[in-house]
Structure 1
Amino acid sequence: MTAIKHALQRDIFTPNDERLLSIVNVCKAGKKKKNCFLCATVTTERPVQVKVVKVKKSDKGDFYKRQMAWELRDLTEVDAKDANKENPEFDLHFEKVYRWVASSTAEKNSFISCIWKLNQRYLRKKVEFVNVSPQLLEELPKAEESVPSGESQSVAGGDEDALDDYQELNAREEQDIESMMEVCEYAISNAEAFAEKLSRELQVLDGANIQSIMASEKQVNILMQLLDRALGEVDNIEGKLLSYEEMLQSVKEQMDQISQSNRLIQISNTNNGKLLDEIQFLVNYMDLSKGHIKALQEGDLSSPKGIEACINASEALSQCMNVTLKPGHEKLMAVKLQQHLFSELRDAFARRLTNHLNNVFVHQGHDQSSTLSQHTAELTLPKHSPLHRDLLRYAKLMEWLKNTQREKYEGLSRTYVDYMTRLYEREIKDFFEVAKIKMAGTSKDGKGKFATLPRKESALKQETESLHGSSGKLTGSTSSLNKLAVSSSNSRRSQSSSLLDMGNMSASDLDVADRTRFDKIFEQVLSELEPLCLAEQDFISKFFKLQQNPTLAQVSIRYSMDQICVCIVFDMVRMMMNKIFQSIETELNSLIALGDKIDSFNSLYMLVKMSHHVWTAENVDPASYLSTTLGNVLVTVKRNFDKCISGQIRQMEEVKISKKSKVGILPFVTGFEEFAKLAEAIFRNAERRGDLDKAYIKLMRAVFNNVEKVANESQKTPRDVVMMENFHHIFSTLSSLKISCLEAERKEAKQKYTEHLQSYVINSLGQPLEKLNHFFEGVEARVAQGVHEEEVSYQLAFNKQELRKVIKEYPGKEVKKGLDNLYKKVDKHLCEEENLLQVVWHSMQDEFIRQYKHFEGLINRCYPGSGITMEFTILDMLEYFSSIAQSH
């Protein structure tokens, strides 16, 4: 290490006017070991700069180079990792933390000690040394081997020792030395002579000092005498102080007695003040005014002023009873008596309030029942806003009852629910009875409006009561409303709507009127139920103080026997609503079943209306009773809608076609067109459009499959005609309706129509020129077997003579006659309503021309130079087709 220090001093630090004081061989912690040296240096010029320099060998390893340097003043912390155990690791905290591992613990300690010395000597801002042994910071580092004497500067440990002996001269000392050296001109040239002169002057000064001390002995003796005299005075003062202390001792005892007396008086006053505060507290918070007591005992619960007085009195009583007493208050007899008085007032007022509210329920019920008769003839439900308005005056008292007498509060809740259940059940039953009669259309007045049948007609009543079952389904096949609906008009079609009979426009017109009336009645029913339920739920929440947000899951806890019942507040509202309106869902299901039985297409109207009302209710309150109930009923409506679609598909599959008449446009194809028009009108801007789109796809698949099924089974009409006409009609229908979800089916229908049109044309054209077609089919077969086209004429069955013979059989006159017969046959196959005759005839003309050109091409290739041509030309054919079409 000495040789390394010598080399570093010579090659790196001496050229930079620096002295190397300490060195340590290190590598970075946690990385691949690449050794380098950390050097502590000071500059030889003033002001002195202290640095930590990182030095490493060059890549070739033949010399050292200076890599990085840090000012010691930038060092904030030195962490030696462990002050008790030997550990070569240490950290230096500059602008960032540098972690090092020394080659030995001794080198690390020597380097840290040198840093500490330099910090103490040259820096005002002291570096923090962590996990460093105190002994290491107190002792000087051990001297290391010295650099050879040839160097002008020592870099060994002796320099570190010199740091302790060196003391910088101040300005005055420097000035004195300079003055002294100016007096002696040889001070610089002859240092020994100058030193001897200074030694002689020092001896002279020492002698003068000794003489001066000996001359001052007299003054010292005088000073000692003065000190003896001062000691005597001090003894006198101490004696007087002792006498004064004895006199003050008696005064102290008297003052102690006075202080003790004052302390007792202060304690008494404090206790009296606290007692007064306790009395004032009890008087202020546990005293109920006479006016409040009178209101609780005799207050008028039927007048607004009396109710207001009772509310104020009950709130004051609750404050008195709920006051938080301090420890010990409950043992006071006055407090016990007052609490007993409060309990009696509470119980008496709770009984009086409960009895009064029960009477209010009964009284309001009688008033409400008297108004029911005026609503029976109309499709409206009675409004309960007057009842709610009168009862809401007691809402704060109900809240007080809920907080103080839970059992009475719950009893009142049950009473209200039982009463309202009977009232609403009667109203809703009558309301739905009127709705069912209007739907069935059993009676009309002179103006065409539906009138309510008298209640004395027991037969009708018995018939409508059959619709009120617990399951909500129509009971039996003898349903009177069903019979009435069927018998109300001779022109009305059967109750089970079908795509097969929607093509009958006279019946369809009547159905539209019936369905429109049904839609209005169903909408009116839902529109009447919605505000009724919302108003009742709002009243229950306000009157019974159940307005908490259900998402907060706040609970009220009730103790009954030894069980704890945790009730979510919002569930209480729903439970009360379910009890009060328990008949709504049953009646709605019954009404839906009736509408579905009258006309299965009514399920479309019901699905749209019910979906809209469910959506509206969920926007208002997604967890309300109305939203839940309508959602449950919507499931039934959707099930009926799906059943309606399935029934239409089943009826398509059961279609039977007459074997003696041509097929034409199938009834379920035209029925789908009418159904789609009806559905589009109903589902315009509807929330459940997706359900209709799914139904469209199912129905269209069924239409496609059953068209093909009927075409395969048809005996009178060719399969291609059935497919062509019906798919043309389907394509036209879908193109006009522009139903986006059926775009793929529209393209498929066009493709099938085009394919079967082409197939029918090709198959039909083979009949007028049957022999000619067979001849050229044989020619093509020979060519396909490998016979060259120019060699076909050498085949015995297909020589020129045979060709001329076949061509002669089809002169222009015969061709026209055959085409005329073909036109008549096509006319018999096609139906009039689709009007495809001219389209087919024009396609046959194009195909015939194509075949003619094909035959001519075969003659030219297979019979070159024969001069054989057809007996008629293309112009002749165009004239034939045109004249035939005009003649018919």
Structure 2
Amino acid sequence: MARSSADDFELRRACEVAIDAAINKQKVVLSIRVAKSRGVWGKTSKLGRQMAKPRVLALTTKAKGPKIKAFLRVLKDSGGGGVLEGFDNLRSQSVAPPQWTMRNKGDRNRILLCILNMSKEILGRLPKVVGIDIVEMALWAKENNTAVSSQVITHGGQDASGLIQGHSQVTVERDLVSQAEEEDMEALLGTYVMGIGEAEAFSERLKRELLALEAANVHALVECESIIEEVLQGLEGASTCVEDMDEWLGIFNVKLRHMREDIESIESRNNKLELQSVSNKALIEELDRLLERFQIPQEYEECLTGDYFDEANVHKNVEVCEWLTGALHNLEASNLDPCYARMRGIKEKRAELVLLKCTFVCRASEFLRNYFPSLVDQMMNDKSLFSQRGQLKRPDHADLRYKCRTYARLLMHIKTLDKNFLAPLRKAFCHSLNVLLRREAREFANELRGATKVANTKPILWLEGPISACQGANADSSSVSEAYSKMLTVFIPLLVDESAFFAHFMCFDVAVLASSDGTAVSSTQPMMVPQGNYINSFLALFFCNDAAELAILNECLKELLAGLEEDFYSIVDWAYKIDPLCCITMHGITERYLSADKADTSGFVHLLLDELEIRISMLFSRFVDDACYSVEKYERGRQTGVLPCIQRFAILASRMEQYTQGQSRDLVDQAYTKIVSIMFVALERAAQVDSKYSDIVLLENYAAFQNSLYDLANVVPTLAKFYHQASESYEQACLRHVSMVIYIHFEKLFQFARRVEELMHTIPPEEIPFQIGMSKADLRKMLKSSLSGLDKIINAMYRKLQKNTTAQELLPSLWDKCKKEFLEKYGSFVQLVAKIYVNEPVPSVAEMRDALASM
């Protein structure tokens, strides 16, 4: 017998996976393969609808508390591979019920028996079955001893659905027919089996016996009539007692209801009295607190209306401000109950406090506006605080800041009470401190210039005038640059420090400070910049959270530092007059300050450094323009020799490199580019004055430029670029000059060669010897006239080079280039003659090389 699909555990696991994916907490009891069809009597005539489709029927159970529900699920293969997909359209009224065809009769009986068993276990009864005999199914189950699924429900309410296999010795007929019923049926069948001729006679006999049994039951009931009457009388007496008890219970219920209403009324009155008592107590406490807000302490009122702002009363004034701020805050409408905010007393008290606030803030502001100038005037009258003749004095504002800090908290409260009074206070402070700073910078700059000793104060003419004029260029002017560096070392940290102190003291919304060396500075303390590390930490990092506040701070700093740039400019101009090359060092010093920290911290100190850098660059550009102008206007008395600017540029470049010291590289490189470009243009223009000596002027000057800048070109990339440019120009000038000398002494030879080359463009080479003036005889005549006395001609070429060259050190190099160029040209001539005039004897290149080597 073929194995049933109901025993396929792989199919059951696939069903569990599909059902768990869709509906949780369900267990598969039985799964079986079927074929779905709608029969030949369906409404549709399409072939696809009439064909059977493979499906899987699955019986599942789900525990819901103490109850268990059973479900019939339909699944299909979702694309092969044993993966099932569930769907259910059995409940749809618009879809005709399908017909499920089992593979065999055993599958059909097995699923039906499983459904009947689950119905009996879950519903407690068997459903009505149409079209099949239950007894027949029970006999089939007994004969085949088939294992079926059974639902077992535990008394604890837990899900206990289980599968009962065939080896468990439990069969379906026990659930359908009990053992007693089965024995009675067997006895009955055994009694009548021999006397039955046909089924109808047997049926009639059973009916008659049933009627007899019913009559016997009626007779038994009639005999028990007296007992029934006694029972009925007892029930009637019990009913009377119950009615009496119900009446008494109704009376007691009414009394209890009235009592409950009385108790609720008493509790309600007690609750109202208690609420009234609590409310009265809270009202009294609130009125007490409100009266406290109205009361102004006598000592505070005197302080608010008086003029006690000296240092001894600062602490008292701060305490009064704190109280006044708190009182105003407590009387604000947002901090009061809406009913209190509309009270007349609250409004009057608030108006009184506002009047006291305005009076106090106005008098405090007037005092501070007079106090700041008085502090500065005291310092201005003390001459020992400023630089004097023979003594440089660093500005010291420690005492000034200490006295200002005494009123720092008072300023904070003035801002809290009415920030509009801060603007005139800030303006007064900036104006007073600006006067002090300008006086200190002016005295310091004057004494700095007076104390600086300079060896040579005459201007140096670097690229013009006699050679001896620039010999004093080696005079040391480093003290001038040191003076400028000292000016920045002293005042730039001071100005940054003053800017930071002003921002905090005047209550700007400044965030936490941090110097560039990573040291954190409190937002309530002024920033102190170490003098020894001014390059890396002179720019302190602070910023405002509000853009409008930052704009106001910048305007105030502009007034604080206004005019200070003039004293720095005076040092720069003084240094430029002494030695323009000092601009290189000063530019490098300023550049170090700016590159130490690019953060725009003290904005106008940063702008001051930018302006100094621009002014130094402008002055140095003026020096470069003057040098270029001196090169352009120079007039030479003779047409040969090296230009003075070429000779002196190396000295100028050496001095500029000494001042550079690895900084201001761009500034110096731009100067090199401009000066050398003008020099080369002037050299080319001077060489064109007399074309006869043009190449000699060029090669001598370019050679001098290379010789003087050889060392510097190895370390300065910009000069190396011009060095290579001069080298290329020198080679070209040499080539043109030696070619000219060669052409002068061998004119006929090379004219003949040029004519041959020109004829080769128009006629075949073999026809050239038949042209007029181009015969072999003409060639021999030309060779005789050009090469006779070759030693004298070579000596003449050498003397020509020697005569034209002013710089005799260049003569060996020029003579070597001349010999090389002549041999190349003569070699071309020999090849040309061998091609046109075959077998015509011509002196070889080796003979010419030997002749030149003898010189």
CA-CA distance at 1:315 after TM superposition: 1.9
The C-alpha deviation readout for 1:88-146, integer Å capped at 9, x for no partner, is xxxxxxxxxxxxxxxxxxxxxxxx541x4xxxxxxxxxxxxxxxxxxx5xx69545799
The answer for the alignment partner of 1:468 in structure 2 is none
2: distance between equivalents of 1:576 and 1:410? 9
- 2:739–2:821: 8 Å Cα contact kept in structure 1? yes
Which of 288, 298, 315 matches 2:322?
A: 315
Q: Are 2:491 and 1:529 equivalent residues in the alignment?
A: yes
Amino acid at match of 1:271: S
2: distance between equivalents of 1:596 and 1:214? 150
Correspondences of 1:48-67 after superposition (within 5 Å): 50-53=73-76
The C-alpha deviation readout for 1:307-346, integer Å capped at 9, x for no partner, is 3343234223312221223333356687567656644654
The answer for the alignment partner of 2:681 in structure 1 is 705
The answer for the alignment partner of 1:465 in structure 2 is none
2: distance between equivalents of 1:876 and 1:608? 61
2: distance between equivalents of 1:275 and 1:38? 89
- 2:387–2:394: 8 Å Cα contact kept in structure 1? yes
Correspondences of 1:334-349 after superposition (within 5 Å): 339=350, 342-343=353-354, 346-349=357-360
The C-alpha deviation readout for 1:70-90, integer Å capped at 9, x for no partner, is 646x56xxxxxxxxxxxxxxx
The answer for the alignment partner of 1:818 in structure 2 is 796
Q: Are 2:470 and 1:507 equivalent residues in the alignment?
A: yes
Q: Are 2:694 and 1:752 equivalent residues in the alignment?
A: no
Task: Indicate the SS of the match to 1:713.
Answer: coil
- 1:783–1:792: 8 Å Cα contact kept in structure 2? no
The answer for the alignment partner of 1:540 in structure 2 is 502
Which of 169, 172, 175 matches 1:172?
A: 175
Task: Indicate the SS of the match to 1:662.
Answer: coil
Change in Cα spacing, 1:748 to 1:241, as seen in structure 2 (3 Å) is same
Greater shift in the superposed pair: 321-330 or 688-697: 688-697
Change in Cα spacing, 1:869 to 1:504, as seen in structure 2 (3 Å) is closer
Which of 607, 629, 640 matches 1:662?
A: 640
1: distance between equivalents of 2:305 and 2:825? 113
1: distance between equivalents of 2:685 and 2:472? 31
Change in Cα spacing, 1:492 to 1:188, as seen in structure 2 (3 Å) is farther
The answer for the alignment partner of 1:580 in structure 2 is 560
TM-score (norm 1): 0.66
Which of 276, 281, 286 matches 1:273?
A: 281
- 2:702–2:726: 8 Å Cα contact kept in structure 1? yes
Task: Indicate the SS of the match to 1:749.
Answer: helix
1: distance between equivalents of 2:376 and 2:58? 113
Correspondences of 1:279-298 after superposition (within 5 Å): 279=287, 281-282=289-290
CA-CA distance at 1:547 after TM superposition: 3.4
Task: Indicate the SS of the match to 2:700.
Answer: helix
The C-alpha deviation readout for 1:262-318, integer Å capped at 9, x for no partner, is 123212222123224424644777767677667667897544x74334323422331
Greater shift in the superposed pair: 798-807 or 860-869: 860-869
The C-alpha deviation readout for 1:381-435, integer Å capped at 9, x for no partner, is 6232321222012111101001113343333222222322333344444445556
The answer for the alignment partner of 1:719 in structure 2 is 694
Correspondences of 1:345-384 after superposition (within 5 Å): 346-372=357-383, 374-377=386-389, 382-384=395-397
- 1:610–1:630: 8 Å Cα contact kept in structure 2? yes
Which of 838, 843, 846 matches 2:817?
A: 843
Instruction: Give the percent of matched residue pairs that are identical in Structure 1 and Structure 2.
Output: 16
2: distance between equivalents of 1:851 and 1:327? 114
Amino acid at match of 2:484: F
Amino acid at match of 2:317: C
Change in Cα spacing, 1:201 to 1:291, as seen in structure 2 (3 Å) is farther
CA-CA distance at 1:864 after TM superposition: 6.5
CA-CA distance at 1:773 after TM superposition: 4.8
- 1:364–1:387: 8 Å Cα contact kept in structure 2? yes
The answer for the alignment partner of 1:234 in structure 2 is 242
The C-alpha deviation readout for 1:145-187, integer Å capped at 9, x for no partner, is 9999x99999xxx9xx999855997953355476566657789
Q: Are 2:550 and 1:570 equivalent residues in the alignment?
A: yes
Change in Cα spacing, 1:529 to 1:502, as seen in structure 2 (3 Å) is farther
CA-CA distance at 1:207 after TM superposition: 5.9
Correspondences of 1:388-427 after superposition (within 5 Å): 388-427=401-440
- 2:591–2:613: 8 Å Cα contact kept in structure 1? yes
Change in Cα spacing, 1:602 to 1:880, as seen in structure 2 (3 Å) is same
Aligned length: 712
- 2:802–2:811: 8 Å Cα contact kept in structure 1? no
1: distance between equivalents of 2:457 and 2:603? 45
Change in Cα spacing, 1:145 to 1:50, as seen in structure 2 (3 Å) is closer
Change in Cα spacing, 1:583 to 1:204, as seen in structure 2 (3 Å) is farther
Task: Indicate the SS of the match to 2:688.
Answer: helix
CA-CA distance at 1:449 after TM superposition: 3.3
Amino acid at match of 2:319: N
Which of 6, 25, 36 matches 1:20?
A: 36
Q: Are 2:593 and 1:618 equivalent residues in the alignment?
A: no
The answer for the alignment partner of 2:713 in structure 1 is 736
Correspondences of 1:323-338 after superposition (within 5 Å): 323=330, 324-330=335-341
RMSD: 5.2
- 1:21–1:41: 8 Å Cα contact kept in structure 2? no
Task: Indicate the SS of the match to 1:766.
Answer: helix
Amino acid at match of 2:387: H
The answer for the alignment partner of 1:60 in structure 2 is none
Change in Cα spacing, 1:612 to 1:274, as seen in structure 2 (3 Å) is same
Change in Cα spacing, 1:237 to 1:847, as seen in structure 2 (3 Å) is same
2: distance between equivalents of 1:230 and 1:252? 33
1: distance between equivalents of 2:353 and 2:270? 44
The answer for the alignment partner of 1:492 in structure 2 is 459
2: distance between equivalents of 1:395 and 1:510? 56
- 1:663–1:722: 8 Å Cα contact kept in structure 2? yes
Change in Cα spacing, 1:173 to 1:589, as seen in structure 2 (3 Å) is same
Structure 1: gaps spanning 5 or more residues: 1-14, 24-33, 56-65, 76-111, 117-135, 451-487, 556-566, 882-888
Amino acid at match of 1:547: D
The answer for the alignment partner of 1:829 in structure 2 is 805
TM-score (norm 2): 0.68
- 1:607–1:638: 8 Å Cα contact kept in structure 2? yes
Task: Indicate the SS of the match to 1:328.
Answer: helix
1: distance between equivalents of 2:49 and 2:464? 101
The C-alpha deviation readout for 1:475-529, integer Å capped at 9, x for no partner, is xxxxxxxxxxxxx9585336xxx6x249957536447634x34422333333333
1: distance between equivalents of 2:472 and 2:208? 150
Greater shift in the superposed pair: 371-380 or 306-315: 371-380
Correspondences of 1:252-267 after superposition (within 5 Å): 254-267=262-275
2: distance between equivalents of 1:874 and 1:188? 156
